[in-house]
C-alpha cells in the first residue's frame, strides 16, 4: 500500500512542478570563531535555547552528514557520526547508551515535547527518519536542570528550520536497497513570506531477509557453521509531518507541528530460534501522534513564549487490541526571557497531564507533573560566560529532587585566527520511574509504587580549540566526564515475581575526543572527522548478592571510535567512514562478552542539472568488509549491503 501511495505522490508533484526552478536549501553558517553556545532562532521545533547550557558538550550534525543519510534513520546517523553506543538488532529496534547509562537515561526532544515512551522510558531511534528534520543537535551528559526528568546520560534535539518560504519548493526522495528495502518521501514548502506550510512524508519498507553465519548451528558433515537467511524481521514504517507557521510581525510569530507515525515490524528471532521448524511470526506495532504549537512575542528586551502540545502513544503486540499499551499526555509551557546589560535570564513553568490506558495496570491512575525552572547567563567581558540553571518538579504522589547546575566557559587564548576555550559544568540529575516500573501488575510481575527517583551528580570539563585559515579550518575538543547515579532501577526476580527496585549505584567516567577539519583546494573540498571515547562504567554498589561489582556495565564498550573522509570535487563526491566498537558484556551474571568489530561504509554521490531542476544520485555501501558481528547477543546483523537512490529539488 505504501508503494502505491508513494508512486502517486511522485507522479502528482512531478506534474505540478514542471518548469519550476531549482531550489537547494542552504544552511546558513556562523563564523567558526563565533560563540559556540548559541543557535539560530530559526528552529521552529526547538524552543529551548542552547545558550544556558554553558560548559556542556554539544555536537551539531552537519548538513552534509544529514544529506548523506537522508534515506536512513536516527540510529544510523548517530552511530556513524558520534561516539555514542547504540544497541540494536536488525529488526527495527535500537536504544541509546550515552556515557554508560541505559536507554531510559536519554531524552529525545521535538519542540517542547520529550517523545520518550512514558511506559518504557526510552525511545527507538530506528523509527525516527533523518529525512523529516533539518537539524540534529546532540547534548552529551546530564541536563536535567535544563530539560527535566530522564536527561541523565544525554539528550537529542530534533528540529526543522523556519524558512518563511516565498512561493513553493519541493524535494522528492526515492531509494532501493538490499534485502527488499524501499524508501520514498517528499517535502513540500508553500508560503508567501508571512505564512508557511511545510509537509514532510517518508515511507520505508524492508523485507530484511539477509543471509548470515549462524554460530549457534553447525553442519557436522563439514564442521562449518550454517549459512541461513534471516526470517521474520521485516519493517514497514510511515511518517507524516505537517507544519503551519504564521509570521504576524518581525517580533511576533505562531508555529505549529503535527507528526503522525506508524511503525510496524516483525520481532526478529534469535539465531537459535531462526533455525527452529516451529518458529512463528511475532509482530509489534507503534502508533504515535504528536502535536506542538508555539507563540512567541518580543517587546524590546523581553521575549515571551507560550507553548501547548499533545502526545498519543499506542503499542500493540501480535495484533492483540485487548492488550493495547497506550498513553496520552497534554502539555503546556510558558516562559519569559529578559536581557539586562550582560545578564540574560529566563523563568518559566511546564505542566503535563498524563492519562494511561494500559491493560496491565490495575487502576490506570492519571498523573500530573509541574516543572518550575529558571536560567541565568552572565557574561564577563568578551571571554567568560557563566550559567546557572534551577529546576524543581512536582509529581502526583511522588517526590522529585531539586536539580541545579552551574556552567563555565572561558577563552584561555584568543588570536586573530584561533581560539582555545576552557569549559566546565557540574549538575544534579534525576529520572522519575516509568509508569511500567510503578504500575505493571501481571502474573509473575509485581507493581511497585514505592520506588524512588534515580538521582545523579555529573561533572565534566574540557578544552576546545578552533582555528580558521584561508584554506583550512579545524575544530577539536576533548572532554573528561564523571557521573555518579544512585537508586539505579532494575527489574529483579523475587518470590512474588519480577519487580522494579532501586538496587544499584553506578559510576561512570571517561574521555571523549572530537575533531573536524576542512581543507579547500580550488574546486575540491576535503572534510576529515574523528571521534573517540573511553568510558569506564561500573556497579559501585548493589543490593543483589554476589553482583558483579567493579565490572564494566553490560552493553557499554570501554572503547569506541569512528572517523570519516569526505572528498567533494565540483558536483560529485565520496565519503569513507569507519567505526570501531569494543567488546561488551551482555549479561549481568556471566563474564562473557560480545566480540569487538569494525565497520567500513562508503558513500558516492553526484549532482546533475536537468534544465531547471537538479538531481542528486547516491550509492551507499555499508559493511563493505562483510564483518560478522552481533550488536545484541544472539541477534544476527547483515553483512555487505547497499542503498541506491535519487533526490530531486524543485523551486518556484
Q: Give kind and range of the element (H or E) at residue 645.
A: strand 641-651
DSSP at 152: T
Q: Answer yes or no: is pLDDT of 30 > 70.
A: no
The CA-based angle 171-174-180, given to 5 degrees, is: 160
Question: For residue 249, how many other CB atoms are within 10 A of its CB?
Answer: 9
pLDDT interval class at 477 (50, 70, 90) = very high
Distance of CA 473 to the CA centre of its chain: 27
User: What is the reported pLDDT for 15?
Assistant: 37
User: What is the reported pLDDT for 223?
Assistant: 80
Mean pLDDT of the chain: 91
Reading the block at residue 127, the C-alpha cell is 523509527
Contact partners, residue 278, CB within 8 Å, separation at least 6: none
User: What is the reported pLDDT for 6?
Assistant: 42
If you average pLDDT over residues 322-339, what whole number do you get? 96
Please give the Cα distance from 649 to 436 (Å, whole number): 45
pLDDT interval class at 45 (50, 70, 90) = very low
Q: Answer yes or no: is pLDDT of 420 > 70.
A: yes
Reading the block at residue 358, the C-alpha cell is 494500559
The DSSP bridge pattern shows strands 325-340 and 445-446 to be unpaired
Q: Answer yes or no: is pLDDT of 40 > 80.
A: no
Q: What is the CATH number of domain 47-651?
A: 2.40.170.20
pLDDT interval class at 652 (50, 70, 90) = low
If you average pLDDT over residues 110-128, what whole number do you get? 95
If you average pLDDT over residues 365-377, what whole number do you get? 97
Q: Give kind and range of the element (H or E) at residue 545.
A: none
The CA-based angle 136-138-143, given to 5 degrees, is: 130
If you average pLDDT over residues 372-377, what whole number do you get? 97
Residue 397 vs residue 318, higher pLDDT: 318
Nearest Cα neighbor of 581 from 146, 182, 85 is 85
**Length of the chain, in residues:** 652
Q: Per residue in 425-456, pLDDT tens?
A: 999 999 999 999 999 999 999 999 999 999 99
Q: Answer yes or no: is pLDDT of 120 > 80.
A: yes
User: What is the reported pLDDT for 219?
Assistant: 80
Residue 29 vs residue 225, higher pLDDT: 225
CB–CB of 401/390 below 8 Å?
no
If you average pLDDT over residues 32-50, what whole number do you get? 42
Reading the block at residue 611, the C-alpha cell is 534544465
The CA-based angle 588-591-593, given to 5 degrees, is: 95
634: left (phi over 0), alpha (psi -120 to 50) or beta: left
* Residue percentage of the chain with pLDDT more than 70: 92
Please give the Cα distance from 111 to 105 (Å, whole number): 19
Residue 343 exposed, middle or buried by CB count within 10 Å (0-12, 13-18, 19+): exposed
Q: Answer yes or no: is pLDDT of 18 > 70.
A: no
Reading the block at residue 433, the C-alpha cell is 520511574
Domain boundaries, the chain: 47-651
Q: Answer yes or no: is pLDDT of 12 > 60.
A: no
If you average pLDDT over residues 526-553, what whole number do you get? 94
Q: Answer yes or no: is pLDDT of 376 > 80.
A: yes
Nearest Cα neighbor of 85 from 69, 104, 103, 68 is 103
The DSSP bridge pattern shows strands 181-192 and 195-206 to be antiparallel
pLDDT interval class at 593 (50, 70, 90) = very high
Please give the Cα distance from 398 to 404 (Å, whole number): 19
Residue whose grid cell is 531509494: 175
- Three-state SS for 120? coil
Q: Answer yes or no: is pLDDT of 28 > 90.
A: no
Amino acid at each position: 500500500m505504501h508503494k502505491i501511495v508513494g508512486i502517486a505522490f511522485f507522479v502528482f508533484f512531478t506534474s505540478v512542478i514542471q518548469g519550476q526552478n531549482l531550489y537547494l536549501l542552504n544552511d546558513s553558517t556562523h563564523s567558526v570563531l563565533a560563540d559556540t553556545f548559541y543557535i539560530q532562532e530559526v528552529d521552529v521545533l526547538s524552543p529551548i535555547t542552547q545558550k544556558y547550557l554553558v560548559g556542556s558538550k554539544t555536537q551539531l550534525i552537519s548538513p552534509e552528514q544529514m544529506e548523506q543519510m537522508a534515506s536512513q534513520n536516527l540510529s544510523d546517523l548517530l552511530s556513524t557520526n558520534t561516539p555514542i553506543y547504540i544497541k540494536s538488532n536488525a529488526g527495527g529496534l535500537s536504544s541509546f547508551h550515552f556515557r554508560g547509562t541505559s536507554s531510559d537515561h536519554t531524552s529525545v526532544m521535538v519542540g517542547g515535547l520529550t517523545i520518550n515512551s512514558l511506559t518504557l522510558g526510552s525511545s527507538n531511534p530506528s523509527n525516527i527518519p533523518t529525512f523529516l528534520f533539518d537539524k540534529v543537535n546532540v547534548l552529551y551528559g546530564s541536563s536535567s536542570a535544563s530539560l527535566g526528568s530522564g536527561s541523565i546520560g544525554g539528550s537529542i534535539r530534533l528540529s526543522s528550520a523556519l524558512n518563511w518560504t516565498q512561493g513553493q519548493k519541493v524535494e522528492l526522495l526515492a531509494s532501493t536497497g538490499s534485502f527488499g528495502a524501499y524508501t520514498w518521501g517528499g517535502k513540500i514548502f508553500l508560503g508567501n513570506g508571512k505564512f508557511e506550510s511545510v509537509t514532510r512524508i517518508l515511507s520505508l519498507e524492508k523485507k530484511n531477509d539477509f543471509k548470515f553465519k549462524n554460530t549457534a548451528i553447525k553442519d557436522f558433515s563439514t564442521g562449518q557453521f550454517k549459512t541461513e537467511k534471516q526470517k521474520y524481521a521485516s519493517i514497514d514504517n510511515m511518517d507524516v509531518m505537517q507544519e503551519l507557521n504564521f509570521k504576524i510581525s518581525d517580533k511576533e510569530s505562531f508555529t505549529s507541528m503535527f507528526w503522525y507515525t506508524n511503525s510496524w515490524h516483525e520481532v526478529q528471532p534469535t539465531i537459535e530460534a531462526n533455525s527452529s521448524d516451529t518458529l512463528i511470526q511475532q509482530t509489534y506495532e507503534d502508533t504515535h501522534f504528536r502535536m506542538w504549537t508555539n507563540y512567541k512575542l518580543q517587546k524590546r528586551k523581553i521575549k515571551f513564549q507560550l507553548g501547548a502540545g499533545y502526545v498519543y502513544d499506542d503499542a500493540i503486540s501480535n495484533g492483540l487490541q485487548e492488550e493495547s499499551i497506550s498513553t496520552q499526555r497534554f502539555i503546556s509551557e510558558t516562559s519569559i526571557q529578559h536581557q539586562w546589560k550582560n545578564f540574560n535570564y529566563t523563568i518559566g513553568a511546564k505542566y503535563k497531564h498524563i492519562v494511561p490506558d494500559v491493560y496491565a495496570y490495575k487502576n490506570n491512575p492519571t498523573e500530573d507533573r509541574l516543572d518550575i525552572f529558571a536560567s541565568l547567563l552572565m557574561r564577563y567581558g568578551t571571554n567568560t560566560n557563566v550559567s546557572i540553571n534551577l529546576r524543581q518538579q512536582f509529581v502526583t504522589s511522588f517526590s522529585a529532587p531539586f536539580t541545579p547546575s552551574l556552567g563555565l566557559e572561558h577563552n584561555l587564548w584568543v588570536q586573530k585566527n584561533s581560539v582555545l576555550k576552557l569549559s566546565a559544568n557540574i549538575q544534579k540529575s534525576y529520572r522519575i520511574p516509568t509508569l511500567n516500573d510503578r504500575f505493571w501488575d501481571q502474573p509473575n510481575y509485581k507493581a511497585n509504587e514505592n520506588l524512588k527517583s534515580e538521582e545523579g551528580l555529573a561533572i565534566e570539563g574540557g578544552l576546545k580549540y578552533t582555528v580558521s585559515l584561508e584554506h583550512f579550518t579545524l575544530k577539536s575538543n576533548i572532554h573528561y566526564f564523571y557521573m555518579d547515579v544512585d537508586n539505579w532501577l532494575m527489574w529483579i526476580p523475587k518470590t512474588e515475581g519480577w519487580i522494579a527496585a532501586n538496587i544499584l549505584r553506578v559510576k561512570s567516567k571517561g574521555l571523549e575526543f572530537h575533531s573536524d577539519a576542512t581543507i579547500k583546494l580550488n574546486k575540491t573540498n576535503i572534510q576529515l572527522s574523528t571521534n573517540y571515547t573511553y568510558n569506564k562504567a561500573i556497579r559501585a554498589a548493589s543490593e543483589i548478592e554476589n553482583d558483579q561489582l567493579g565490572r564494566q556495565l553490560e552493553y557499554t564498550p570501554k572503547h569506541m571510535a569512528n572517523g570519516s573522509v569526505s572528498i567533494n570535487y565540483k558536483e560529485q563526491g565520496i565519503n569513507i567512514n569507519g567505526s570501531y566498537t569494543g567488546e561488551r558484556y551482555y549479561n549481568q551474571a556471566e563474564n562473557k562478552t560480545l566480540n569487538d568489530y569494525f565497520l567500513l561504509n562508503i558513500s558516492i554521490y553526484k549532482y546533475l542539472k536537468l534544465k531547471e531542476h537538479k538531481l542528486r544520485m547516491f550509492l551507499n555501501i555499508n559493511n563493505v568488509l562483510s564483518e560478522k558481528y552481533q550488536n545484541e547477543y544472539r541477534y544476527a546483523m547483515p553483512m555487505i549491503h547497499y542503498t541506491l537512490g535519487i533526490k530531486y529539488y524543485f523551486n518556484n
